[in-house]
Structure 1
Amino acid sequence: MEAALTSLRTMTQAAIALIPSIGLALFSFVLFWFVSRWAARGVTALVRRTNRPANVGFVLSRLTQWALLALGLFVSLIIVVPSLDAAALFGALGIGGVAIGFAFKDIFQNLMAGLLILITRPFVIGDQIVTGDHEGTIEDIQVRATLMRTYDNRLVVIPNSELYTNRVIVNTARDKRRASVDVGIGYGDDVALAKRAALDALDRLPSIERDPAPSAVVTGLGDFSVNLQVRFWVGPPTRGDVVAAKDEAFIAIKDDLVRAGVDLPFPTYQLLFPSQAERSVGAMETLKEGSSD
Structure 2
Amino acid sequence: MSSTLPPSTVSTHVPTTVTLQNIVPIDFATLLPSVELRLVASVLTIAAIVTIWALGARLHDVDTEGFSSALWHLTVTLFRLVGVVFGGAFLFLIWSSSGDIATLSQQYGLGTDTLVQIGLSAAFLAGAYVVTTVLGRLIKEVASTRPEISDHQREIIFRLAQVSTYLVAFVVILGVWQADLGGILVGAGFLGIVVGMAARQTLGALIAGFVLMFSRPFEIGDWVEVGNHEGIVTDITVVNTRIQTFDGEYVMIPNDVVSSESLVNRSRKGRLRLDIEVGVDYEADLDHAASVAQEAVEELDETLSVPQPQIVAKRFDDSAVVLGVRPWIDRPTARRKWQTQTAVIGAVRDAFEEEDITIPFPQRELSSRDQSGPIPLTEEPSRGTPETNGRSGASDGGDR
Q: Please, which of 119, 123, 127 is the counterpart of residue 27 of structure 1?
A: 119
Contact persistence 1:181–1:246 (CA under 8 A): yes
Matched, 1:92 2:187: yes
Pairwise CA distance, 1:73: 3.1
**Letter of the structure 2 residue corresponding to residue 246 of structure 1:** Q
The farther-off stretch of 112-121 and 58-67 is 58-67
**Structure with the higher strand share, 1 or 2:** 1
In the alignment, the residues of structure 2 paired with residue 53 and residue 258 of structure 1 have an alpha-carbon distance, to the nearest angstrom, of: 51
Pairwise CA distance, 1:141: 0.7
Q: Please, which of 183, 203, 206 is the counterpart of residue 278 of structure 2?
A: 183
Pairwise CA distance, 1:127: 0.6
Matched, 1:67 2:67: no
Assess, with a 3 A threshold, how the Cα gap between structure 1 residues 94 and 174 changes in structure 2: closer, same or farther.
same
Q: Please, which of 335, 348, 355 is the counterpart of residue 253 of structure 1?
A: 348
Assess, with a 3 A threshold, how the Cα gap between structure 1 residues 252 and 131 changes in structure 2: closer, same or farther.
same
Paired residue total: 262
Identity %: 24
Greater gyration radius:
2
| Equivalences for residues 103-122 of structure 1 within 5 A | 103-122=198-217
| Equivalences for residues 172-211 of structure 1 within 5 A | 172-211=267-306
Contact persistence 1:32–1:69 (CA under 8 A): no
Assess, with a 3 A threshold, how the Cα gap between structure 1 residues 151 and 142 changes in structure 2: closer, same or farther.
same
Match of 1:5 in 2: none
Contact persistence 1:174–1:237 (CA under 8 A): no
Structure 2 portions without partners, runs of 5+: 1-104, 366-375, 382-400
With normalisation by structure 2, the TM-score equals 0.60
Matched, 1:235 2:327: no
1:129 partner SS: strand
Assess, with a 3 A threshold, how the Cα gap between structure 1 residues 42 and 116 changes in structure 2: closer, same or farther.
farther
In the alignment, the residues of structure 1 paired with residue 318 and residue 186 of structure 2 have an alpha-carbon distance, to the nearest angstrom, of: 75
Match of 2:398 in 1: none
Kindly indicate whether structure 1 or structure 2 has the higher relative contact order, using CA contacts under 8 Å at least 6 residues apart: 1
Cα deviation, 1:112-145, whole Å, max 9, x if unaligned, reads 2222222221111111110111000011111211
1:30 partner SS: helix
In the alignment, the residues of structure 2 paired with residue 158 and residue 89 of structure 1 have an alpha-carbon distance, to the nearest angstrom, of: 36
In the alignment, the residues of structure 1 paired with residue 260 and residue 135 of structure 2 have an alpha-carbon distance, to the nearest angstrom, of: 28
2:169 partner SS: helix
**Letter of the structure 2 residue corresponding to residue 57 of structure 1:** R
Matched, 1:127 2:232: no
Match of 1:226 in 2: 321
Matched, 1:264 2:346: no
Contact persistence 1:40–1:62 (CA under 8 A): no
Pairwise CA distance, 1:183: 0.9
Matched, 1:157 2:249: no
2:326 partner SS: strand
Contact persistence 2:318–2:363 (CA under 8 A): no
**Letter of the structure 2 residue corresponding to residue 111 of structure 1:** L
1:173 partner SS: coil
With normalisation by structure 1, the TM-score equals 0.81
Match of 1:37 in 2: 129
In the alignment, the residues of structure 2 paired with residue 154 and residue 257 of structure 1 have an alpha-carbon distance, to the nearest angstrom, of: 39
Cα deviation, 1:135-190, whole Å, max 9, x if unaligned, reads 00011111211111111111011111111233211110002111121111111111
**Letter of the structure 2 residue corresponding to residue 44 of structure 1:** G
In the alignment, the residues of structure 1 paired with residue 154 and residue 127 of structure 2 have an alpha-carbon distance, to the nearest angstrom, of: 17
Pairwise CA distance, 1:25: 2.9
1:194 partner SS: helix
2:111 partner SS: helix
Contact persistence 1:131–1:163 (CA under 8 A): yes
In the alignment, the residues of structure 2 paired with residue 43 and residue 116 of structure 1 have an alpha-carbon distance, to the nearest angstrom, of: 22
**Letter of the structure 2 residue corresponding to residue 139 of structure 1:** T
In the alignment, the residues of structure 2 paired with residue 54 and residue 139 of structure 1 have an alpha-carbon distance, to the nearest angstrom, of: 14
Pairwise CA distance, 1:13: 7.9
**Letter of the structure 1 residue corresponding to residue 151 of structure 2:** A
